[in-house]
Structure 1
Amino acid sequence: MQGSFLRLYVREGDKLHGRLLWEWLLDQGCRLGVRGGSAFRSIGGFGRSHAVHEGSFFELAGTTSIEVEFVVTEEEAQRLFALIRQAQVRVFYVSIPARFGVINPDAKDPPELSAEE
């Protein structure tokens, strides 16, 4: 199946309607029927301000980034982007073309996810 590896970057402490933004993003992906999503905390990095943040300093707690990842079809990506726009959340993202599937699928896997090779 063809689609994208979609990675969204948010700050660890960012919230939307009192909820952590990375949790909200995962929930939206789940509600849209995306097959899966994950969130990872970075140990360090920098963004557009070029200020390096490291997760090891107590005084910087909550300033590192969270990477939220999905493997999605084009339609799923567009629906997720529409929800983010509607919520008026500023999110930096990367979308990389991806081919994905399941090797040795079981009865619960949709036929389109069967490995092509």
Structure 2
Amino acid sequence: MEGSFLRFYVTESEAHHGVLLWEWLLIQGNRLGIRGGSAFRAIGGFGRRHTLHEDRFFELAGSSGIEVEFVATDEEEQRLFDLINREQIRIFYTRIPARFGVINPDAEDPPATDNP
């Protein structure tokens, strides 16, 4: 299948409608039919303000980065972006073209468009 590898960057304390933003993104991706998503806590990093955030600094608790990743078809990606726009969420993301599928699929997997 053809689509995109999407990665959203949020801080661990960011929330939307009372739900942590990273969790909200996973819930919505699941609801929209994206086959899978994951969230990862960064051990360190910096953003546009060039402030270094690391897990070991107590005074920066709650400011660590969380990466939320999806591999999605173009249609799934568009539904997710449309929802984020409607919800007026300001979020940084990366999008990388991706080819993906399941080797030795079972009956629940979508049909393969190519084989490795």
- How many matched pairs? 116
User: Unpaired runs of 5+ in structure 2?
Assistant: none
Residue of structure 2 equivalent to 1:116 = 115
CA distance in 2 between counterparts of 1:91 and 1:75 reads 20
CA distance in 2 between counterparts of 1:109 and 1:45 reads 36
Shift of 1:57: 1.5
CA distance in 2 between counterparts of 1:2 and 1:99 reads 5
TM-score (norm 2): 0.95
Residue of structure 2 equivalent to 1:42 = 42
Residue of structure 2 equivalent to 1:30 = 30
Q: Over residues 30-51 of structure 1, what are the superposed CA-to-partner deviations in whole Å (9 max), with x where a residue is unaligned? A: 0000000000000010000011
Q: Contact (CA 8 Å) 1:103, 1:115: kept in 2 or not?
A: no
CA distance in 2 between counterparts of 1:108 and 1:85 reads 31
CA distance in 2 between counterparts of 1:71 and 1:79 reads 13
User: Unpaired runs of 5+ in structure 1?
Assistant: none
Q: State the secondary structure of the residue aligned to 2:33.
A: coil
- Equivalent residue letter for 2:56: S
CA distance in 1 between counterparts of 2:105 and 2:51 reads 45
Percent identity for Structure 1 against Structure 2:
68
